Structure 1
Amino acid sequence: MSIRLPPASWDFRGFVLCFIFFSSFPGTILAQEVTLDSIQIFTTHDWFSTKPTVYFQCKGENKTVFPDVKKTNVSYSFKGEESWQPLTELKGTKCKRCGIYEKDALSSDTFDEWELCPSDFTADGKYTHAKEKEFNATFLCHGCSQVGDGPNKESGAVKKEEQHGMRPAIVVLIVVLVLGVVAVGLVVGYKYWRKKKRQQEQARFLKLFEDGDENEDELGLEDTL
């Protein structure tokens, strides 16, 4: 006797299966939220205001103003629960063109613009971006390090270090091979020179011997006469 499950059970089972399937591919479906952990600005660009308006913005998205950031050389820390958080969302392995700006009376000045990628974040979900004499900011994105080519970047760095370490060994190997070839060439040249010298000495000895025979023949003829 077969047991029939009600339609609601099938719907629940399908939901669970879909959740498991999509959870196994977080980079393709789930969006990773990026929040600001800390920031410190070292300068301002607005000469007419003592309290700058600093904000974050990705290309094609809305501005996110940092309402507390008003003084230079002060480190501001955040919990990620502020009303203006998160800053943006990263989907899959795609990067975004983002930046930190300052709004002044006439226009917007740029602290810096860069490509924000999921692979930039470390295993603990942190990413620090800094620009000399401008600002230093740390971002959080839990789960971003599991998406994209983060491990590949690390392995690429390891490969570069290995290549740098292999270069001196290659140079030493080339030097040893060159010295070996030179040594073999010297040995072969010396043996060839010795052989030529021996042949010349033999030829000279034979010539002297033949000259001696001719002299003896002449002397024998003279004695006979």
Structure 2
Amino acid sequence: MPSTLVKICGLSTAETLTAAVRAGADYVGLVHFEKSPRHLSLTEAARLRQLVPPQVKVVVLVVNPSPATLAEALREVRPDVVQFHGQETPEALARFRSDTGVEAWRAMGVRDAESLAEAARFHRAADLLLFDAPASGLPGGNGTRFDWSLLGAYKSPTPWGLAGGLTPANVADAIRLTGAPLVDTSSGVESAPGVKDVDKIAAFCKAAQSA
């Protein structure tokens, strides 16, 4: 069985991004959303992007971006993936993928089994569905989890990942319970909102990779 892929999201400094790469993260996330404590300007994101080696993929997180903002993010940051965290429709994601050739991930808040059924709308539109806790204040990065048992028997034609409340202490249990092919953490490896902890990043990656 292949090891679970790991994404560390909301990185904002060269030190913490490098720590994620060294710990074996498969994806590093850069947030472009002004209301988030992890927000980066596109100039800042582009600067960090230069530090990422080819084997690690760069994800830019956006929330209901304007076409101009999206175009600027692609031009300046050159992400491997754009993660949509707002009310973007399946049609908008399909059009984005067709027009740009860039991977599109869609974050989905999960309250109950009906939420998973709702995700079916995106099966041919998104490259990956990221199941997160329902939005509370911010679209993501709130450190809250949903009922992981909902994913215990989940089958999907679209790749998927698990987010929401994942920490070094619980990520292994989450993987064993859900079989998640990918896990994504942000606040779970922080010492304060928006402040990543290099030791927690290393511990999270180690726990996920050994689950």
- Place the TM-score, normalised by the shorter chain, in its bin: under 0.3
Instruction: Calculate the TM-score normalised by the size of structure 1.
Output: 0.22
Greater percentage in helix: 1
**Higher relative contact order (CA closer than 8 Å, sequence separation 6+):** 2
Instruction: Calculate the TM-score normalised by the size of structure 2.
Output: 0.23
